[in-house]
Chains A and B, each alone.
Chain A
Amino acid sequence: MPAGLLGIEELDRAEIEAILARAKQFQPVQDQSQKKLDTLRGKMIVNLFFEASTRTRTSFEIAAKRLGADAISIAASGSSVSKGESLVDTLNTLAAMRPNAIVMRHAASGAPHFLARHLAMPIINAGDGTHEHPTQALLDARTILDRRPSLEGLRVAIIGDIAHSRVARSNVYLLSKFGAEIVLCGPASLLPRELAQIAPGVTLTNDIREAIQDADVIMMLRVQLERQHEAAFPAAEYFQFYGLRLEHLALAKPEVIVMHPGPINRGRELSSEVADSQRSVILNQVENGVAVRMAVLERVIG
C-alpha cells in the first residue's frame, strides 16, 4: 500500500483482499471484554474532520484506540481553519507535531490528494467531497462477504443521489474489481450518464424496480441535500419514486441484504419497515467499520 489510503480506484485486488482478511481477524476483538491490542502502541493518529461526522470519526477513533494508538480528533469549527488558515498551513502545522498518520475528511473533492502531493505524511481519506470514501467501501465489502462467499457475480443495486455520493464511487470501484454486476439507480439529474464508463460491470437505470430486480445487495444512499446546489429533483417526489419500501424487496433475490452508509433518513431513502427488517444489515456495517479501520490503520502505520 502507498503511504496512505486516498481511494479505492488506485488499489488492486490483492491490497483490498489483504485489508478485508485482516479486518475479519479483528472482528472477534469487538466482542471481547478486553478490547485493547498493542499493535500500534506509541503511535499517534490525528483525526481531522472538516465536515461534520459522528460515525466515521468515532469509528476511526475507536479503531485507533483498540490498536493501542493514541488518537486525537479535531473538528474544523473551533480550529485554526475557522480563523482563516489555509488547508496546507493547517496540515503542515499538524505534521510538524509528528503524528504517524492523519485521517481526514473534507468537503472538497481531492483535498487529501492535493495535500498528499505536498506533505510527507500518510493521509487516510475519510471522505472527500463527492469523490471517494474508501473505508466505507471496504466495510461494505466486509459486510457483504460476511454473508456471501464472494463478490463475483453478485448483482448490487446502488440507489439514490449517485452524482454526489463518495460512497457510491468507492463501492463501484471496489465491487467492479471483484467482478460484481453494479446497477446504479436514481433520477437522471443525480445519475450522470458518464457513470456507466467509470468501471467495468456498471449499468444505469432511472427505474428503482428495474434496479432491484434479482438484486443480491441493495445499497441505499443518503440524499445529500447539503451537496446539491440547486433542486436537482423535487424533494417531495423522492420517496415516492426512489425510496425503498417493503414491497420492493419481493423483486430482489430472496436472501437480499439492504445496506445504508448512514445516517439513515427514515421515510426519505427507505421506509422504517425496511430499515428494521431482517434484510437490513445497517448496524453490521457500523460494527465492521471499526474492524476495517483497524486493518487500514495497521497497514498504513503498523
Chain B
Amino acid sequence: MSPLLIKNGRVIDPASATDMPADILIRDGVIVAVGAGLDAPGARIFDATGLIVAPGFIDMHVHLREPGIEHAETIETGARAAAAGGFTSICCMPNTLPVNDNATVTSYIIERARKFAVTNVFPIGAITKNSAGEELSAIGSMKAAGVVAISDDGRPVMNARVMRRAMEFARSFDLPVIDHCEDLNLSGGGDMHEGYESVRLGLRGIPASSEDVMVARDILLAQATGARFHVAHISTRNAMAMVAYAKQYGLPVTCEATPHHFALTDAHMRPYDSNFKMKPPLRTACDAGAVVDGIVAGAVDAIATDHAPHPGSEKMQEFEKCPFGIIGLETALGLALEYLVHTGKIPLTRLVALFSTGPARVLHLDRGTLAVGAPADVTIFSTDLQWTYDVNQSFSKSRNSPFDGHSFRGGPVATIVDGAMVWRRE
C-alpha cells in the first residue's frame, strides 16, 4: 500500500500534549512522521484543511452481538458503524451466545474480527461463567487469548464475595474489572429512572440508589483488593461524587460516561418510546449535569457508547417488554461536541483525550496516540460540519436510536485503521 500523507490538519495528540497545524505521514500501517510541510513522493494525499486530526478513537463499551445474536448485529456491521462514528478500536462486551467466558470464544471473536472487522476489536471477557455471578470464568486464559478487561455487563455480580475474588484474580493478570453497577434487587422490574417522570407515566422505576450502592461496594472492594476497577456508563450524581472521591484518595478507580447520559434526561423521553429505554436509565437533569461536571473536573476517564443493538421487532412492543439499550457509535462524537465542546464546557484537546488516551489508559492499550512509531489509527473530524443523523442509513443492523433526525454540528470525516482509510464521509 502506498504511503498516506494527511496534510494541513490541526493535529491534536493529548498523549504528547500536541495541538498544532501539522502533516502526518503514514507508511506500512505506522505513523512515520508528524510535522510541518511534510512531503512524500508517491504518497496518497488527504487534505485535512479545517479538520482535526486525532489519535484513533476507542470505544471501550460496545455490544457486537456475535456470536449468537447476529440478527441484531455482527462484528462486521458493528465495526462498520464504529468506523462511521470515527472509532478505530472497539471493545466488545461478553454477553453473546455463548457468553465470552473462555479462551475459545475469545479466540473466535478475535478471529472473526480479523477477517470481517474494519476496526480493531478488543474483547472483554466475562467475570463469571455464563455471567451467572457464581463461579469465576477462565480469566487467565482469556487474558492470554486477548481480552483487555473483564465484566459481567448487564448481569452484574450481586454476590460481594464473588466480586472480591474476581478483583483479586483480575489483579493477578493486570486486568481491569468493569462493572455495570446495578443492585438488581433494588432495580428489579424497573423500566426507567425512578422519579417524577416514572410516577407520572406509571412506569416502574430504577432508583439511582441501585447504581450508587454498587459503586460504593465496588470502590470499597477495589480498595481492599488493589484491583483496577472501572465504572461502566456512570449516570448518577452520587456515583460521580464517589468516583471523584476514590480518585482523590488515590485508588485505581476509573469511569466512563455515555453520550446519552449527558445529552438526555428522563424528561426528554418520548413517552413509551423504547428508543429511550436503556440501563442505566436516562436520569434527571441534576444527574446529567453531574456527569458533565465530572467530565469537566477530570473525574471521567472515557466517553463510551454502550452501543446496544436490538432489532426493531423487539423494540416495537409494550415499553415494559422492550429490551434495554440503544445504538450509539455513529452519534457519539456529534453529541460530545454539541454538549461538551460547543457549550464551552471542555476544550477540544480534552474531548480527544476522552475518546483516545483516556480509554487506552484504562485498558492499558498501546493505542490512542499519534507518536511516531505508533500504529496508524487516526480519526479525522470536523467541529462545524452540518449533518443530520438518519438511522435508516446506519451501518448497524439495528435502528434503535433516540437521535434519529437529530442535526449535528461537527462529526467524523474519515477513519484510518492501521494506515488504511476504512471510512470516509461521502
Is B200 positioned at the interface, with any CB of A under 8 Å from its CB? yes
Q: Do the beta carbons of A109 and B319 come within 8 Å of each other?
A: yes
8 A Cβ contacts from A103-122 to B: 106, 108-111, 113-114, 117-118
Interface size class of A (residues with CB under 8 A): 20 to 34
Q: Do the beta carbons of B318 and A198 come within 8 Å of each other?
A: no
* B-chain residues with CB within 8 Å of residue A128 when the two chains form the complex: 202
Stretch from A11-19, A24-32, A129-137 forming part of the interface with B: A129-137
Q: Do the beta carbons of A229 and B188 come within 8 Å of each other?
A: yes
* A-chain residues with CB within 8 Å of residue B201 when the two chains form the complex: 109-110, 131
Is A166 positioned at the interface, with any CB of B under 8 Å from its CB? yes
* A-chain residues with CB within 8 Å of residue B320 when the two chains form the complex: 108-109, 129
Q: Do the beta carbons of B319 and A86 come within 8 Å of each other?
A: no
- Name the residue of chain B whose CB is nearest to the CB of A169: B202
Q: Do the beta carbons of A113 and B199 come within 8 Å of each other?
A: no
- Name the residue of chain B whose CB is nearest to the CB of A173: B200
- Name the residue of chain B whose CB is nearest to the CB of A113: B272
A 88-112 to B, binary, CB cutoff 8 A, 1 in contact else 0:
1000000000000000001011110
Could you tell me the distance between the alpha carbons of A132 and B194 in the complex, rounded to whole angstroms?
Answer: 18
| Cβ contact of A113, chosen from B189, B271, B313, B321, cutoff 8 A | B271
- Name the residue of chain A whose CB is nearest to the CB of B197: A194
Could you tell me the distance between the alpha carbons of A168 and B244 in the complex, rounded to whole angstroms?
Answer: 42
- State how many angstroms separate the Cβ of B70 from the closest Cβ of chain A: 21
* B-chain residues with CB within 8 Å of residue A109 when the two chains form the complex: 201-203, 272, 319-320
| Cβ contact of B313, chosen from A86, A118, A192, A197, cutoff 8 A | A86
* B-chain residues with CB within 8 Å of residue A229 when the two chains form the complex: 188-189, 204
- Name the residue of chain B whose CB is nearest to the CB of A192: B199
- Name the residue of chain A whose CB is nearest to the CB of B199: A194
Is B316 positioned at the interface, with any CB of A under 8 Å from its CB? yes
8 A Cβ contacts from A158-178 to B: 163, 166, 169
Could you tell me the distance between the alpha carbons of A107 and B318 in the complex, rounded to whole angstroms?
Answer: 9
Is A223 positioned at the interface, with any CB of B under 8 Å from its CB? no
* A-chain residues with CB within 8 Å of residue B116 when the two chains form the complex: none
Is A188 positioned at the interface, with any CB of B under 8 Å from its CB? no
Could you tell me the distance between the alpha carbons of A261 and B316 in the complex, rounded to whole angstroms?
Answer: 32
Is A87 positioned at the interface, with any CB of B under 8 Å from its CB? yes
Could you tell me the distance between the alpha carbons of A130 and B273 in the complex, rounded to whole angstroms?
Answer: 17
A 138-168 to B, binary, CB cutoff 8 A, 1 in contact else 0:
0000000000000000000000000100100
8 A Cβ contacts from B275-327 to A: 313, 316-321
Is B196 positioned at the interface, with any CB of A under 8 Å from its CB? yes
Q: Do the beta carbons of B319 and A114 come within 8 Å of each other?
A: yes
* A-chain residues with CB within 8 Å of residue B226 when the two chains form the complex: none
- Name the residue of chain B whose CB is nearest to the CB of A163: B199
Is B154 positioned at the interface, with any CB of A under 8 Å from its CB? no
Q: Do the beta carbons of A195 and B199 come within 8 Å of each other?
A: yes
- State how many angstroms separate the Cβ of B351 from the closest Cβ of chain A: 35
Q: Do the beta carbons of A86 and B189 come within 8 Å of each other?
A: no
Is B195 positioned at the interface, with any CB of A under 8 Å from its CB? yes
Q: Do the beta carbons of A132 and B202 come within 8 Å of each other?
A: yes
Could you tell me the distance between the alpha carbons of A56 and B167 in the complex, rounded to whole angstroms?
Answer: 56
Could you tell me the distance between the alpha carbons of A86 and B274 in the complex, rounded to whole angstroms?
Answer: 15
Q: Do the beta carbons of A87 and B318 come within 8 Å of each other?
A: yes
A198-B313 contact in complex given A109-B203, A109-B320, A114-B272, C-beta closer than 8 Å:
no
| Cβ contact of A110, chosen from B194, B195, B199, B271, cutoff 8 A | B271
- Name the residue of chain B whose CB is nearest to the CB of A6: B271
Could you tell me the distance between the alpha carbons of A266 and B318 in the complex, rounded to whole angstroms?
Answer: 34
Could you tell me the distance between the alpha carbons of A128 and B273 in the complex, rounded to whole angstroms?
Answer: 15
- State how many angstroms separate the Cβ of A247 from the closest Cβ of chain B: 32
Q: Do the beta carbons of A110 and B203 come within 8 Å of each other?
A: yes
- State how many angstroms separate the Cβ of A200 from the closest Cβ of chain B: 14
Could you tell me the distance between the alpha carbons of A262 and B201 in the complex, rounded to whole angstroms?
Answer: 23
- Name the residue of chain B whose CB is nearest to the CB of A118: B316
- Name the residue of chain A whose CB is nearest to the CB of B195: A194
Q: Do the beta carbons of A87 and B317 come within 8 Å of each other?
A: yes
| Cβ contact of B196, chosen from A86, A87, A132, A197, cutoff 8 A | A197
Could you tell me the distance between the alpha carbons of A272 and B103 in the complex, rounded to whole angstroms?
Answer: 67
- State how many angstroms separate the Cβ of B422 from the closest Cβ of chain A: 37
- State how many angstroms separate the Cβ of B4 from the closest Cβ of chain A: 47
* B-chain residues with CB within 8 Å of residue A108 when the two chains form the complex: 318-321
* B-chain residues with CB within 8 Å of residue A130 when the two chains form the complex: 202-204
Could you tell me the distance between the alpha carbons of A106 and B316 in the complex, rounded to whole angstroms?
Answer: 16
A166-B196 contact in complex given A86-B313, A108-B318, A229-B189, C-beta closer than 8 Å:
no
* A-chain residues with CB within 8 Å of residue B318 when the two chains form the complex: 87, 106, 108, 110-111, 114
| Cβ contact of A198, chosen from B200, B271, B319, B321, cutoff 8 A | B200
- State how many angstroms separate the Cβ of A82 from the closest Cβ of chain B: 15
* A-chain residues with CB within 8 Å of residue B196 when the two chains form the complex: 194, 197-198
Could you tell me the distance between the alpha carbons of A113 and B273 in the complex, rounded to whole angstroms?
Answer: 9
* B-chain residues with CB within 8 Å of residue A131 when the two chains form the complex: 201-203
Could you tell me the distance between the alpha carbons of A132 and B272 in the complex, rounded to whole angstroms?
Answer: 13
Q: Do the beta carbons of B316 and A86 come within 8 Å of each other?
A: yes
Could you tell me the distance between the alpha carbons of A110 and B319 in the complex, rounded to whole angstroms?
Answer: 7
A110-B200 contact in complex given A88-B317, A229-B188, C-beta closer than 8 Å:
no
- State how many angstroms separate the Cβ of A113 from the closest Cβ of chain B: 5
- Name the residue of chain A whose CB is nearest to the CB of B194: A192
Q: Do the beta carbons of B317 and A86 come within 8 Å of each other?
A: yes
* B-chain residues with CB within 8 Å of residue A192 when the two chains form the complex: 194, 199
Could you tell me the distance between the alpha carbons of A129 and B192 in the complex, rounded to whole angstroms?
Answer: 15
Could you tell me the distance between the alpha carbons of A163 and B318 in the complex, rounded to whole angstroms?
Answer: 20
* B-chain residues with CB within 8 Å of residue A114 when the two chains form the complex: 272-273, 317-319
Q: Do the beta carbons of A110 and B317 come within 8 Å of each other?
A: no
* A-chain residues with CB within 8 Å of residue B202 when the two chains form the complex: 109-110, 128-132, 166, 169
Could you tell me the distance between the alpha carbons of A35 and B200 in the complex, rounded to whole angstroms?
Answer: 39
A 30-59 to B, binary, CB cutoff 8 A, 1 in contact else 0:
000000000000000000000000000000
8 A Cβ contacts from B54-98 to A: none
* A-chain residues with CB within 8 Å of residue B198 when the two chains form the complex: 194
- State how many angstroms separate the Cβ of B318 from the closest Cβ of chain A: 4
| Cβ contact of A88, chosen from B188, B189, B195, B316, cutoff 8 A | B316
* A-chain residues with CB within 8 Å of residue B195 when the two chains form the complex: 194
A-B contact pairs, 20 of them (CB 8 A): A86-B313, A106-B318, A109-B272, A109-B319, A110-B201, A114-B319, A118-B316, A128-B202, A129-B203, A130-B203, A130-B204, A131-B203, A132-B202, A192-B194, A192-B199, A194-B195, A195-B199, A197-B196, A229-B189, A229-B204
Binding site for B on A (CB under 8 A): 9, 86-88, 106, 108-111, 113-114, 117-118, 128-132, 163, 166, 169, 192, 194-195, 197-198, 229
Q: A108-B318, A109-B201, A109-B203 are in contact. List 4 more A-B contacts (CB 8 A).
A: A88-B316, A106-B318, A111-B318, A192-B194
Nearest 4 A/B pairs, CB to CB: A110-B272, A131-B202, A108-B318, A109-B202
